[in-house]
Structure 1
Amino acid sequence: MKIKEIEIYGYGKWVDKSFTDIGSLQIYYGKNEAGKTTLMSFVHSVLFGFPTKQSSELRYEPKESTRYGGRLTVTDTPYGDAVIERVKGKANGDVTVTLSSGVVGSDELLETILYGIDKKTYQTLFSFDLDGLQHMQKMNQKKLNRYFLSIGTLGNEQLLRVADKFEKKANELYKPTGRKPKINQKIRQVEAKRKQVQAAKEKNQQYMEFYQLKSELEEKIQQSKDKRDELQEKIQDYQRLNANWNHYAEMQSIQQQMTKEKLTELPEEGLYQLNNLQERIGEIKEKITDIHEELLTIQKKQEPSRKLRFYFNNETTVEELLAELNDIQQQAIEQEQLQVEVHQLEQQLIQKKFDLGLAPDSSIPEPLSDQVKQRFYELEELMKRVEQEQAEAKEKEQYLNYQNQSLFQQLDSLEQRLWSQEKFQDAEKEYKKRNVEETAYTTSRATSNQALSTKSKSPVFLILGVLAVAIGLLIHNMMGYGLIGIGILSIVWGLKRKSPTAVESSVTPSKTADDEFSASSYEEFIQQKELKKQWREKLAENDQVTYDLNQIRELIVRLEHESNELQKEENGLRTEYGYPASFSVVGSGMDADPFQFIRELNADIRSKEKRIAELEQFIGYWSEKASLLEAVVFLDWNSLPSIINGLVNYKEEVANERIQRNQLLQSEKEVHNRLQHWDKQQKELETQRMELFRSIQVKDEDEFRKKYILFQNLTDKKDRLSVLETQLIDDLNLYNQFKDQAELTESIQKHSLAIENRKQTEEEMLNEKINYELSMQRLEEGGEYSVLLQEMSILENELQMIVDEWSSYKVASTMIERTLNLAKKDRFPQTIIDTAAFFALLTRGNYQNVYVEEERLLVQRKDGALFDAAELSKGTAEQLYVALRFAFVKNTSDLVKLPLLIDDGFVNFDSQRKNEMFELMNQMSQTTQILYFTFDETIDQSYPQETIEML
């Protein structure tokens, strides 16, 4: 069997999918989740049934389709081409098999097409993936032979299961090395009891005497039985004569008839001529019968169909419906166009809403009053003004920060270049003393006063600085940070101004001051005076900048608060009137309404929807009137295109049927002409037959044949007599001993009576022997021996019953397998030979032979070393099992032709091994169809593109 086409209605991810032109070697390539395993499972399910809900296998019921199942188109079956369809139903689904001849069957026909193989056997031998490949390592010679038995004959697998059942029950009763089976336990009990009986025998003194007498009786009984057997054999001979007495009597009757009756010779061709005429007349009658059936068929075809009768009965209504068909089609087109336009307008409306900041499902805002627009405008203008003032304030704040940092840097630079206050005052004092000696005292007093004034001012700066830092830490804003900076500068300045020895050094000149002044030039002193002046100016400028910075920061805070309040009011108005956050009166203009366009779009949509509803109402009225045809036209009456097409087809069918009826009338005339021709031929042949009857002086066919039969019987009896004489030649002497069958019967009864007498005599001797045995038992001390004998007898009887049961199971199992073995060739050796050849190909000659022992598989390397399959590497072991699987399929191909399904069974093969595997698949595909499912991206390098189906 080969799969020609796969059509999936719904199975897992596959819905309404077809695979056609499937070749002898078909590769299905796809990445993970592409549906390879699902497709392979679909083939299994169609052939053998869907997995039940209680099964562990996946059912692959589709989630996107209500149809579950599909069909396979197959060729090269015992019945030719066939279509196997399976859909959802009870248990494993409902299957239908349609042959090319038109015959339709179900499960029984499918089982015949599949050669009686069940799903488990198919998956074991003809369908495998990586797990199934590794499962082959559990195969031994016994299991493989069992698979050979189950292949080829419908019903063998059921017989094998019965044989397995019998074999299992036999093993439960007895095992050669077992301890728990019943027979093993009973044998041990009998042996133990037999030893006890033997020990009891040795204790009895008179046992041997009774035993001798018993033995003599047993000998006499046996002699009587032998004589009885001889009599029984003679009775069997006589019974055989009695059974064949009819043959003997027939032989005597034929001999007498041959002597008494003689017939004249009849022409040899007479019976041939009659048979020829009868055959030709029979053929003509068959043709006439066929013609009558053809006429009957034509007459039946002339009967108007249900659709045509309906048309005749409702012609006016039907024609009205057909006349309105063009208008309905135009209205349907208009409705479809309007629906498309509505959809487009709705999309445009959603986009416009999105552009204007509205949600797709939100309502369209109503137009604003002039008062509300004016308030929106005022709020936006106020926010613009606040934003502008905020930008200007921040720009000024940035400038003041820069100016403040610049003044700090200039002060630091000047302070680094200034002399200490003590040094400057000493230099100034010395300068005045030298240049204006008469005013030295006055200058000294002035300097002293200045120093005292400076000294008195130093604590004030320290106190102000500490207060500024404390207030800045409490405020925690930009103004506070400015106060902290001012406070730190004040503290630094106060510390620099405070000099405890300044006044003394200016009033009381010393040698040190003279020395310092002498080291400094007059120009440097003038430069220091200028630097001190610059330093005082920069310090005053810094105080002013700090004050301005604090003022501008307070302004920024106020503007931020004002902006928030304006924004809050504007958002409240937008929420109240349903306008988006992006709406702006200033941006759209006081008179323009940006939402007017979407209001017009919405009105257009409502108008078109109203027209659609009107068209639906009119079309619905027409469809309701057309539903009159539901009784004769089968279609989807919920679909307008289906109704229109159905009515058009109905009209064409009615017209075609009228034409066919006219053609049938012409055909009927032609058939009548042929009928008249064959009637004439039949009459001519019947006339010839009557002339043949007259030639041998008979009236009819019965007399004609009886005359020939009588002649033939005489000839046959001669042959029969020869056969009977040959058959009875060995018993003729015995037959001659009896004059008739009654005498033979009397002799049989006589011998039977003699046998009965001997049986009675044997019974008397047997009773006497039993008496001796009883006497032997009574002689046993304390009756122990008799008890032991009885117990041993009971045990032996029990053992015999179990053994009989075991024998029944064993014989039944053996007979079933022997019977099946007679119906098959011994394919196992050839399978092992082919396995070795395939394995050598896959391993590039590294392994030469394969051997199967009772429970394991051995391979021989080219150097002669033997390895168990378990000792091979994973890839090599899988190659071995692939070779074994392919060899099995090859050696059963004459009995079973089924496709071989492989789901990426070679993922553990390296590139070289895969190439050899692909070569083997090419060879196998010459006789067996192979469907290979893989995600190997290099597959296109080994096979032509037309053999690969991309999933």
Structure 2
Amino acid sequence: MKILEMHIYGYGQLENVKITNLADFQVFYGENEAGKSTIMAFIHGILFGFPTKQQSELRYEPKHSTKYGGKIRIYHEELGFAVIERVKGKAAGDVKVVTDTGIIGGEEFLKDLVANFDKSLFQAVFSFNIHGLQNIHQMKGEDIGKFLFSAGTLGTEQLSKAESTLQKELDIRFKPSGKKPILNEKLQELHELNGELKKAAAKNKEYENLLEKKEFMQQQMAAINGKIQEVGEKVGKLNEWKRIESIVREEKWTKKELNELGEIEFPVRGIERIEKINQLIHPYNAEIISISERQENLKKELADLQPDLSYLENEPTILTLLDQVPIIEQLKLEKQQSETKLEEYEDKLSITREKLHLPLNEEDIFAINTNIYMKKQVEIVSRKKQKLEEVKEELEECYQEEKNRLEEIEKDVRLAESQVLTKQERLLLEEQMSHGNDKKSLGWELTALQDKIEFYQQTNEREKASNERSKQQKKLQFFLFELILFGLTLYGLFTMDWALVCLGVLGCIVIAIFMMKSSKKFTEEEMDQTLYGLREKEKQLKQKLQSAEYLDITKLEDQLVLDNRRREELQMLKMKLKQQQSQYEKAISKFEEWELESAQNKEKLLSISSELKIPEYIAASFLDEAFELIEQYKSICREKKQLQIRLELINQQQIQIVEGFKSYENHFLQEKGLDLHNSAYLLRKKLKEEHEKQIKSQERTGKLAELEADLKQKSQELKILQAEYNRLLIAANVETEQKYYELGARAEKQERLLERLENLKSQLQYSILTIQERESYLPIHKSDELITECNQEAQYLQSELKKLQEEDALIKYEIQILEDGGMYSDILHHYKQKKFELEEAAKEWSIYCLAQEFLSQTIEKYKNVHLPRMLAKAEEYLGFLTTGSYRKIHLQKSGSGFLVEREDHTLFEANELSQATTEQLYVSIRLALATTLYEKYHFPIIIDDSFVNFDAGRTEKVIELLNQLERNQILFFTCHRHLLPLFPKENILSLAKGAVEIIS
């Protein structure tokens, strides 16, 4: 999805604001309170609904306008362009979605467009701001890894918060070795109460016996109550039987009558139907006789009304011929006009021939090619000729300018060459300079030589002192080594280990030789010799310096510098001369190119003039005009030819009309030799008479057909009635109408009995007695006596129950005395209450424990299934942002969190990274989440000033990364002007108190 336009009717401080042509990477710049957050909230509100009054989010209702809401235009990959409009209405606003293809929908259609995302999930995945980065800075070190893991799964810190909250709730309720958690305290209290309860129970054996007796009494009372209930139900059923006895007996009698009648096959409402059929049959017979008589009369009338069908068959041709009578006059007029126009065309052709002054006839003109291609070629050649003339003037001006400029530069070069020193003069000057330079160089060399002599003297002294110290140290070391090897040799002789003896002797010899070589005295002769040679050289330099003559070096240097500058100017002028010669040669070469093009164009012009059959001198000056005259001549000839064809057609049409009238006059009319108008009048009159006959004949024929159809219908209906009459007799299985009526009387009686039976059943359906119980009560004739017996039994059971209740009350009183005399009941009640509280607390603890387990399993599944692909993309982004400094992101082996691997393979936890690197890691994870796990949802990514803590290099990197996200539109909101040069100017919109403008 891509947002193309926004129209804000009223939202916060923004009223009637239109934003169009949003780019794939759109930047919104504005100072604080300019409306950036309002636009972000507007986008979320239009897509997912306005916040309700019960929610804590701002609703952004406008203060100075009644309009609330707006619309956005989007492009959806599947549905194309669409407009989403949401205005004030129900809680989240009334929404309407209209696509360019004509589909209109509401909230459900919008949910399909946004793939059933809600606002929280959209903000978690595709929308983030500076607060997400600030959360990292406010966390403790061990929580940063969990926060980044949560951002990589849900896009927010909710997962990290959920884990912390669950663990906190579990710790509040129970710890294995704790005392303050709720479950630990309740377990301790229950353990103490259980001890007290056991002590109280040991003192109350009698109390237990009374409880057993009380339970036995409760069982007896329950049994008596059950018997009383049974007797009561029996009394109720007997009373019900007393109420419905007469209805049941009548039902039984009705069923018996129905069985005696047996099964009767008789049509439904059979008597009524047969009487109705008898009433219809007689009128139908009378109508059939009447229709037959009317048919005979109409047939006689039809015989007298027969039109001339041969004349009517030619009606279209006759009408066409009659319609052409007015055309005769028009054709005469058109013929005169055409002849006049033909004379005009001849005059025009004569004038055009004079203008062309060519010996061409009409056949030659039509042979000339004047198609579109030829016309285009004529235009091209003419324009080319005109353009070449203009170019020639420009080339001549350019040639003259380049020639003048070349002459000026040659003059400057000759002047500069005259001012430069000759070779002999410059060599003499340089020789004089070299003497002055020799004196200076001798002074510099003498100073350097004196410094070198001093350095060698100091070095000689330091070497002597150093040699003395190293000599003493080496002597001490060699002595110790000799002592150790001597002892090793004695130990070998003592132990008869000849390998040690050889090793010791060999070591002593080697050390002795090394001492002899290193103990050579430092030879000072070489150093003294060097110093002597340097001092001799110092004397020679002093003598040379005293013998050198003094010259005015400054003046010589100025002359040399001036000559060098003039030589450089001369060199520049020569380069300029070379460039100008090149320009001059280019001007000449352009002249040559012009001549070549001119020759080519002339060849084309000659070719065209040959095709158009016009002389070369006319083509050279008036090619366009000549072509237009040829086209005009050709057009006039064509129109003239068409006019001649039309004249021939007019003559043919006139002849055809006259001959047609003569033919019909000879064939159908009695009068002969009439003029055209009289013949037309008589033909039209005869056509009218024949039409009237035909209409009357058709009316009679139609009426006759109607009577035949009516007769046929009446006959069919009569047959249907007869068939229905027969079907009724067959359905009743009788042969005569008398037997039919007798069977109908029996069927009516059966119907009355069935109705009465249904009525009785409806009265019995609400009775509490079943059919089996009603059958069992039928032999009973003295139900009142049975009811009396049952009532007496119920009274006896009530008296027994009363005795048991009195005895139970006595036992309860004794138990109460025992309970009042001791603390057992209080302790028991307190114990059960604490036990109940412990069970409830344990249930609550188990709920949190299960929730933590489910969350852990979900995290583990996510880590194994979905997270590796997301982490691979996050590693790619992090490597790009850090320029390869950090190359890998590893999951913690247990729990949630990350380890980041640097390019030197050092692993860091998230809290060990710098603040800026942690923020880069967060941005990489958030962008990877949107482009991998949610890659099929191409929603806009909304970013609100999330990189203000980055330096210039990091900011450029993250902007470059965002530019690579081609599948998602980027909406970037910022209040920092120094970021704007990183974006193209056409992609920046400036916000200023409700106004929108493009940054220039």
Same fold (TM over 0.5): no
- After TM superposition, the score normalised by the length of structure 2 is 0.30
- After TM superposition, the score normalised by the length of structure 1 is 0.32
